Structures are given as structure tokens and as C-alpha cells.
A and B are shown apart, each in its own frame.
Chain A
Amino acid sequence: MSNGILVFIEHRQGAINKTSFEAVAAAQQLGAGTGQEVTAVVLGADPQHANEVTGFKLAGVVSAENPKLADYTPDAYADAFEQVVRARNPAFVIFPHTYLVRDFAPKLAARFGKGLISDCIRMKAEGGSVVFARRLFQGKMDADVTARGEVTAFATFQSGAYRGDQAERGGGASVESLPVEVGEVRMQPEAPFQEVKQAVDLSKTDVIVAVGRGIKSQENIALAQKLAELLGGDIAASRPICDAGWLPIDRQIGSSGQTVAPKLYIALGISGAIQHLVGMKNAGTIVAVNKDPEAPIFDIADYGIVGDLFEVVPTLTDEIQKLKG
């Protein structure tokens, strides 16, 4: 019989990724709803990071160790984690939906004849039944999903789905060192780096006016720029705008770009894909202008205008000008 819940703790460049604590919170809730214990799994060359999570309420911490786990590679991580899963035969394995997890966890699950129930935003675990909710169509639909089959189910949770500070603390879990075998590693990583020294730090500005694909051309950005200046703020963008080179990459908001929390965030012609939302959803007041009433950006907006940004922005700029006198 499979039993218990494993939760994956990710570390990169010497530090535990904070979304791991969100995964711990999710796993604990799943544990409470299904009456199962939660064990953390840390992969590494040594137990250093395993020792950093013993303060959570956990049945234990497995430190799967091999020198080849010093630097992340999907080959080494899949080999190592596979042995932990085989040794434990858990009912569930829970991960944070990070880029690193996206890279190796599907490979791991495939070794058990499965995929991941990936990028979940909610979960309801009651009386043994577990329903996961995930987004479809870039945020335009939600789906309730249940795991099929008897053996281990693998699920990942979107960043922000659970709160890391709500992961329960406990009485000092013990670390079990588990030497694991790692086969051939077929990729060699070089050191991670940042493309450019970030010239602008958008995390400090109070007002951000962000443009998305709805802005249509580079010249049109001037419209948004004018509004930003009037509000004493900065211009920013969704990814496609920076990919196109219309604004430099250090203006990109989202999971691959900057994370910001200004007092006011005005999203112009941005659909609201999750990778954008994670970078700005903690803004104080969010305004969205979009011609599509179903655009997911409206889900998190305080104020919304359904309409053409080329009509809205000039009027808005004039009106604010008037108010400012």
C-alpha cells in the first residue's frame, strides 16, 4: 500500500527557494485532509539544506545525497528522486511549480508511467477525496482534476497558490541521510548568470504603467510613457514587448523578469497570463484596460475598463492632468 506524502524542497545557488515553503503548506493541508504524514525531500551533495527545513511540522526529512547532485541537472535529479519514491512508495509527491521542477519532474513521473497534475492553483482534500484545480487556456478556464490509478500521484503547485508563512512549524523533524545512485549525466551546466546588470529597479517605484501586446507597435509606447511620467512612475511591459526589443529586458514584469508591488499598476493591453501575474499581483491598486471582457487580467484588477486602450489612455491622461491642475 502506498502511503504518505513527499514534498520536494528546491534550492538553487546555495539557498532554499521560498516557493518550497508554499509546497510544504500545500502538502500539510493534503496531509490533514487525507490523514497522512508529510516528509520533505532534499537532494544535494550533502545534508546542508535538509538541515534547514527541520523546523517545519514534518514526519521527517530525507536528504538524498550524491556528489553529482551538487549542481542541478535533470538527469541526476530524476535518478535520485526516483530512488526516494521507490523506497517510500508515497501516495502523493508535491512540488512547487518552478522552472527547475518543470525541467525534471515530468521525467521522474514518466518513470512511474505518469505525468504531473501540474501548476495547480487550489486543492480540496476532504475525507480521502482530493480534487486539484488547475488553469487552462492561459488563465481563461479552470479545471477540477482528480488523480487516477492506485500508485503515486505527482502534483505541482503554482507560485502563490499557498502561503509559505502558513506552513506549520513543528518540533524538529529528524534528517535521514539516504545515499543514492546517479547514472550518467548527459548535460553539463555552466554557472548561472544575469544577462545585463539591471539598470532599473522597478521594485522601488510607486506607479507602474505596463504595456502588453495590445499596444501594437513600438511607437505607441509613447502614449503609455506619457501617462507614466504624469503619474511620476515607470514604464514596464509583458514579455512579448521585451522579446520584440520594443523595451529593454529589465522592464519585463513576471516570472522571468522583475517582481514588483507598486501602489498603482496600470496594465494596458495585457491579457494576464500567470507568468505575468506572479510578477505584479501584489500591487496595491491594479487597473486593467483590455478590449476582451474575459481577459484573465480582470480577475485580479480593482478597476477595469473593457475597451480600446487607444481611446482610454489619451482621455485618462487628460483627466489626470486636469485633476492635478
Chain B
Amino acid sequence: MKIVVLMKQVPNKDAVLRVRGDGKWVEEGDLSFEVNESDGYALEEALRLKEKKGGGEVVVVTLGPQRAKSVIKDALARGADRAIHVVADDFGQAGPFAAAKVLAEAVRGESPDLVLAGLQSDDHGYGQTGVIVAELLGLPHATIVIEVDWSGEQLRVKRELESGWYQWYTMQTPALLTIQSGISQIRYATLKGIMAAKKKEIREVQPAVAAGEGEFQTVERVYLPLKQKQTQFLGDGDAKKGAAQLAEKLRNEARVI
């Protein structure tokens, strides 16, 4: 059994973002990066499936510049068996179709039984890459998956619907699933895992298509969101003072106490 996990590197959650000089993206020079949250859960699910099946291989596929190696190394330390790094500096702003095309070509030769991806990225938030990869590879897919049962012959997955509803699907395999954050508890890398990772293979490949190919949209401008409400900021940095002002406002202005 072979499981491919698509993993992306994104700016840290609590990064302070500044718009780049040309107004078309954020300044990346001063950012630190981490693995996309739901991709981390996708990896964890792959490792658990492998353990339950008592064997198989987990292969990580990452598209990104050299700095994305840290995501790969971390995944290998957690237990992935090997990785394919599609090295590209110019795909940072790629749309989901272009990125999916490159990823699909990287995955194709592996002929996996299952492909797992996070359900969306924390930076662009397109929420499409996994589904498009499935279509390009001719695989059935399910999105927003929060439980995977592959104990028998059949693959059964629990999908999240809106407003507290769920639904189980039985899937033909090979298949692609996009995994929801919180599906399980993510393990830490052990020291032994970190040592073992040093010997694992990371194969570097070139993107199968050039950046810009397959783009269906142009990002004209990136800017701080327009405020929907006039927020009254209280306390001026003094939390206690703010709390006291807030109590007073809630009583006399908003009249909710």
C-alpha cells in the first residue's frame, strides 16, 4: 500500500504581513514559514493508516522553493518514508490549477493507492488543489474528510457537511481525500525519527509545466481588508484599563448588561 501526501509550506499563522512594494503580494523576506495546518493532519492520517495496515509506504510530495525542505524533513522525521520535492521559486503565487498540474505529474509515476492533501491552504485558501489533482489523475475524491476507515477491503470516509451534519461515503480506490484539521492528534517527531530521517530519500524534480501556464486569474492588488465595522479600541494597550472601560460601555452604551 502506498500513500502520497501533498504538503505545502505557508507563512506562519501569527506572521505580521506587509504588502510587497508592487502591491501584488506580501513581503516574504521577513516571514518565517511552517507546514500548512491541514497538510500536517493529512500526514498524520497517512501514518496511522500505514500503521493500521501493518505496512506500506508514505511518500510526501511538496512543491516550493528550497526553504520548503524544512516541511519535508519534518515529515520524514515524523515517519514518512521518502519525499519528492518539486523545486520551484516561481510557484508561490500559482493558482490552484497550475499547482495541481505540477503536483499531478509528480504523483503520477508513483501510482499510489491513496493520495491525501490538506483541505485548503492557510495562505491562498483556494481549497481546490487536491480536487483538481484528483481530476487530472482520474481519481475519485472526497473533501473535508474527518475520519478514514480502511480496515477492510473497502475505503469508507466520513465527510463533514455544514452545520453539524456528516455523511459516510464508500470510495473506489485509488482515491484522493482532502483532510480536515483536527481529524486526530498530530504526533511529535522523536529524536530517533529525526536521526532516521537523515537517511531517507528526498528526490528533487523540476515542475512539469512552466510557472504561469494554466493561470485563469490575475491577482491585481493585495491590500489590508476593509473594515466592516467601526471598532472602538479600548484601553490603549493597557489591558486592565480596557477591561474597565469595556464594562462601562457594555452597560451604558451597548446596554447589554
Q: Which residue of B lies closest to A153 (CB)?
A: B216
A65 contacts chain B at the CB level, 8 A cutoff? no
Task: State whether B231 touches A187 (Cβ < 8 A).
Answer: no
Interface residues of B in 73-98 (CB under 8 A from A): 95-97
The minimal Cβ–Cβ distance linking A192 to chain B, given in whole angstroms, is 4
B56 contacts chain A at the CB level, 8 A cutoff? no
Interface residues of A in 191-245 (CB under 8 A from B): 191-195, 198, 206-207, 231, 239-240, 243-244
Q: Which residue of A lies closest to B184 (CB)?
A: A243
Which of B95, B217, B238, B244 is the one whose CB lies under 8 Å from A146?
B217
- Give the chain B neighbours of A206 by CB distance below 8 A: 256
B182 contacts chain A at the CB level, 8 A cutoff? yes
Task: State whether B97 touches A302 (Cβ < 8 A).
Answer: no
A49 contacts chain B at the CB level, 8 A cutoff? no
Report the separation of the CA atoms of residues A214 and B81 in the bound assembly, to the nearest whole angstrom. Answer: 34
Task: State whether B125 touches A135 (Cβ < 8 A).
Answer: yes
Q: Which stretch (B188-196, B197-205, B220-228) binds chain A? A: B220-228
Task: State whether B239 touches A315 (Cβ < 8 A).
Answer: yes
Task: State whether A315 touches B231 (Cβ < 8 A).
Answer: no
Q: Which stretch (B46-54, B62-70, B133-141) binds chain A? A: B133-141
Q: Given A153-B216, A193-B167, A294 and B231 touching (CB < 8 A)?
A: no
Task: State whether A264 touches B250 (Cβ < 8 A).
Answer: yes
Q: Which residue of B lies closest to A322 (CB)?
A: B247
B55 contacts chain A at the CB level, 8 A cutoff? no
B interface residues, tally (CB under 8 Å): 82
A51 contacts chain B at the CB level, 8 A cutoff? no
Query: In the complex, how many residue pairs between chain A and chain B have their CB atoms under 8 Å apart?
Result: 282
Q: Which residue of B lies closest to A152 (CB)?
A: B216
0 or 1 for each of A241-262: is its CB under 8 Å from B? (1 = yes) = 0011000011010011111000
Q: Which residue of B lies closest to A17 (CB)?
A: B162
0 or 1 for each of B12-36: is its CB under 8 Å from A? (1 = yes) = 0110110100000010000000000
The minimal Cβ–Cβ distance linking A277 to chain B, given in whole angstroms, is 10
Q: Which stretch (A40-48, A83-91, A109-117, A169-177) binds chain B? A: A109-117
Task: State whether B160 touches A149 (Cβ < 8 A).
Answer: no
Task: State whether A137 touches B11 (Cβ < 8 A).
Answer: yes
Task: State whether A301 touches B229 (Cβ < 8 A).
Answer: yes
Q: Which stretch (A1-9, A31-39, A56-64, A100-108) binds chain B? A: A100-108
Task: State whether B143 touches A315 (Cβ < 8 A).
Answer: no
Task: State whether B232 touches A302 (Cβ < 8 A).
Answer: yes
- Give the chain A neighbours of B127 by CB distance below 8 A: 102, 106, 118-119
Q: Which stretch (B1-9, B105-113, B169-177) binds chain A? A: B169-177
Q: Given A144-B220, A304-B232, A312 and B257 touching (CB < 8 A)?
A: no
A269 contacts chain B at the CB level, 8 A cutoff? no
Q: Which residue of A lies closest to B230 (CB)?
A: A302
Which of A75, A106, A264 is the one whose CB lies under 8 Å from B132?
A106
- Give the chain A neighbours of B125 by CB distance below 8 A: 118-119, 134-138
Which of B16, B132, B167 is the one whose CB lies under 8 Å from A191?
B167
Task: State whether B143 touches A99 (Cβ < 8 A).
Answer: yes
Task: State whether B126 touches A193 (Cβ < 8 A).
Answer: no
0 or 1 for each of B155-182: is its CB under 8 Å from A? (1 = yes) = 0000111111111111110010000011
Which of B169, B221, B232, B249 is the one whose CB lies under 8 Å from A187?
B169
Interface residues of A in 270-292 (CB under 8 A from B): 271, 284-288, 292
10 contacts between A and B (CB under 8 A): A102-B144, A109-B128, A115-B216, A140-B225, A142-B223, A189-B169, A231-B257, A252-B164, A255-B162, A312-B242
What residues of chain A have their CB less than 8 Å away from a CB belonging to chain B?
A: 12, 73-75, 78, 98-100, 102-104, 106-107, 109-111, 113-119, 131, 134-149, 153, 186-195, 198, 206-207, 231, 239-240, 243-244, 249-250, 252, 255-259, 263-264, 271, 284-288, 292, 294, 296, 298-308, 311-313, 315-316, 319-320, 322-324
Sample of 10 more A-B contacts, CB < 8 Å, known A119-B127, A147-B216 = A107-B134, A107-B141, A109-B216, A115-B100, A187-B140, A190-B167, A243-B181, A296-B225, A307-B242, A313-B243
Top 5 nearest A-B pairs (CB, nearest first) are A243-B182, A307-B239, A319-B247, A186-B140, A315-B243
